């Protein structure tokens, strides 16, 4: 037995160090203590990651409900909203917002049916430059 040798249990080793014990000791010696002090961050460095981490995963934070808020459609496409949203089951009505071109509310029978329409039509292009933005309306 070598002086100062200990087994994995913390008791003095009964014999020479085995290969497995040596690897464990070698791995323990590769700790982060040898890496030196942490590097200081320069001003502005890493801010991009922080902004991404703090950003909400979904830009629409409104909880699902049976009324959808639709925007970003051309004023001359208002008449197309009814037939477009009627394709989805549970459709009840489209209400445009007076004095606010390109905005409307679409109502469905249930939250789940509204969610199906939202998923299917969010980003749908009624023109070459205007993809629809479909969100759940605020309650």
H or E stretch at 104 = strand 103-108
d(CA 3, CA 6): 9
SS3 helix, strand, coil % of the chain, rounded to 5?
35, 20, 50
Give 27's Cβ-side CA count (13 Å radius). Answer: 6
Using the predicted structure, report yes or no on whether residue 133 has a pLDDT greater than 80: yes
For the whole model, what pTM was predicted? 0.58
- The 8 Å CB, 24+ separation contacts for 122-131 are 124/84, 126/73, 126/74, 126/77, 126/80, 126/84, 127/73, 127/74, 127/77, 130/72, 130/73, 130/74, 130/77, 130/102, 131/72
Tokens at residue 97, please? Answer: 């917002």
Q: What is the pLDDT of residues 32-82, one digit of tens each?
A: 455 555 555 555 555 444 343 333 345 547 999 999 999 999 988 999 999
Distances (CA, A) of 116 to 18, 31, 34, 36, 95: 63, 52, 55, 54, 19
Q: What is the pLDDT of residues 114-132, one digit of tens each?
A: 999 999 999 999 888 889 9
């Amino acid at each position: 037995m070598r002086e100062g040798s200990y087994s994995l249990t913390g008791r003095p080793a009964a014999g020479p160090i085995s290969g497995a014990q040596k690897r464990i000791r070698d791995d323990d010696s590769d700790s982060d203590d040898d890496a030196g002090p942490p590097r200081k961050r320069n001003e502005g460095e890493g801010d991009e990651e922080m902004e991404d981490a703090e950003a909400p995963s979904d830009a629409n934070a409104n909880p699902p409900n049976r009324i959808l808020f639709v925007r970003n459609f051309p004023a001359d496409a208002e008449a197309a909203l009814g037939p477009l949203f009627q394709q989805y089951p549970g459709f009840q009505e489209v209400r445009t917002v007076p004095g606010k071109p390109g905005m409307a509310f679409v109502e469905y029978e249930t939250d789940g049916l509204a969610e199906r329409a939202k998923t299917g039509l969010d980003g749908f292009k009624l023109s070459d430059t205007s993809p629809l933005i479909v969100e759940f309306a605020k309650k």
